[in-house]
Amino acid sequence: MRVTLLVAGLLAGSGMIGCAGGEQTPAVKCESACERDQRCNLGGGSPFCRADCADRSLGLLPEFFDAFTSCYTDLDCDTGIAACEVEASSTVPRRQIDDNFQSGCQDKHGECDESFSSAYCFQSHYYEIEWIDRAILCLSMTCDAVEQCLAREMPFAPFGR
């Protein structure tokens, strides 16, 4: 009985209790990624250290966020995150909405003389459809407002910044 209580206490302290298969909550994943960024002196600018990280992560497809944060938290400080993005992107399919967004985004990027990062145009398949629907609306804004809107509707993008 004591062993059971000890194990339950350890699991509760780790943030893993109450989740099927020992899965971690978005808040725990954000915290782990933030700890990595703080260890690597990236804490101040890290999207994982924001108070609303767990809420913002809901815009990402769970399978992408899970794979990305699992890889990311294990990275050495001097290793770029591109490999984690590639690994995580293989867990999610491209959809018709992603092709539509990419085309519209690239058109807007050209129209705006490249005033916002083109990386946004290639990352929609990481996100839930309702978030992409809102990101599509950003493309109808004036050039000086597009990037701020995309950053709001596509949290964490562009990856690798």
Instruction: Give me the pLDDT at residue 158, please.
Output: 75
pLDDT digit string (tens) for 87-129?
999 999 999 999 999 999 999 999 999 999 999 999 999 999 9
Q: Residue 100's pLDDT is what?
A: 97
Coil, strand or helix at 41: coil
Backbone angles phi, psi at 18, to 5 degrees: 90, 5
User: How big is the CA angle at 128 (ends 75 and 107), to the nearest 5 degrees?
Assistant: 95
Q: What does the CA dihedral 68, 74, 78, 80 come to, rounded to 10 degrees?
A: -10
Tell me the mean pLDDT in the region 127-135.
Answer: 96
The answer to whether the predicted template modeling score (pTM) of the entire model surpasses 0.85 is: no
Are the C-beta atoms of 27 and 54 separated by less than 8 Å?
A: yes
Angle at 65 between CA 96 and CA 129, to 5 degrees: 30
Please report, for the chain, the start and end positions of each structural domain, with discontinuous segments joined by +. Answer: 23-89, 96-153
Coil, strand, or helix at residue 55?
Answer: helix
pLDDT of residue 43: 56
* Cis status of the peptide bond prior to 158, with omega within 30 of 0: yes
59-80 tens-digit pLDDT: 999 999 999 999 999 989 888 8
